């Protein structure tokens, strides 16, 4: 893997880490912005999955669909089939606009936070192994 590709992957991870920072800040005290928390959970997972696809030489598609990205990742590692992102994809776009959007509860926001962190940890470990090969 060339230097530019490694840096590109690191840039995706940095952006995912920024989403995690926002999630952590928004869940430090009383939780008000549950839809924003869930949006950043979706974004974190989307970015870390795309980093994994890039390190495996897969061209990434413009999508916010976590299930699709997981299936793409599963082409390289069957363990991705065992990940259940719940309805995380729903928070990629729709939750950003008013109207018929679903407003998650505080408990749901915290559950999605835990799911996002678990997926990030799982994928980051796989990326680190591939970067060191």
Burial of 50 (C-beta count, 10 Å sphere; 0-12/13-18/19+) = buried
- Would 133 be classed as within a structural domain? no
Q: Does residue 74 fall inside a structural domain?
A: yes
Is the pLDDT confidence value at 97 over 70?
A: no
**What's the token pair of residue 51?**
């980093």
Residue ranges making up the domain that contains 113:
3-128
23 lies in a domain?
A: yes
Per-residue model confidence (pLDDT) at position 99 = 67
Q: Which residue has the tokens 């008013």?
A: 98
What is the C-alpha to C-alpha distance for residues 99 and 108, in angstroms, rounded to an integer? 20
Sign of CA dihedral 75, 19, 115, 108: negative
The CATH number given to whatever domain includes residue 82 is 1.20.120.330
Please check whether residue 114 lies inside any domain of the structure: yes
Residue 40 counted as domain residue: yes
Please tell me the total count of domains within the chain: 1
Residue 88 has pLDDT above 80, yes or no: yes
Rounded to whole angstroms, how far apart are CA atoms 97 and 99? 7
In a domain, 83, yes or no: yes
Please answer whether residues 73 and 50 qualify as being in contact, where contact means their C-beta atoms are separated by less than 8 angstroms: no
Looking at the chain, the whole-number percentage of residues with pLDDT higher than 70 is 94
Distance (Å, rounded) from C-alpha 10 to C-alpha 7?
5
pLDDT, tens digit, for every residue of 15-64? 999 999 999 999 998 888 999 999 999 999 999 999 999 999 999 989 99
26 phi, psi to nearest 5 deg: -75, -15
For the whole prediction, is pTM greater than 0.85?
yes
């Amino acid at each position: 893997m060339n230097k530019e590709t490694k840096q590109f992957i690191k840039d995706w991870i940095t952006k995912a880490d920024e989403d995690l920072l926002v999630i952590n800040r928004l869940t430090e005290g009383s939780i008000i912005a549950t839809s924003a928390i869930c949006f950043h959970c979706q974004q974190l997972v989307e970015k870390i999955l795309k980093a994994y696809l890039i390190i495996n030489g897969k061209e990434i598609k413009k999508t916010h669909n976590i299930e699709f990205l997981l299936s793409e990742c599963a082409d390289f590692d069957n363990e991705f089939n065992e990940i259940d992102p719940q309805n995380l994809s729903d928070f990629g776009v729709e939750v950003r606009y008013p109207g018929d959007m679903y407003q998650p509860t505080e408990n749901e926001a915290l559950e999605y936070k835990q799911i996002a962190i678990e997926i990030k940890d799982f994928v980051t470990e796989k990326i680190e192994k591939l970067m060191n090969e």
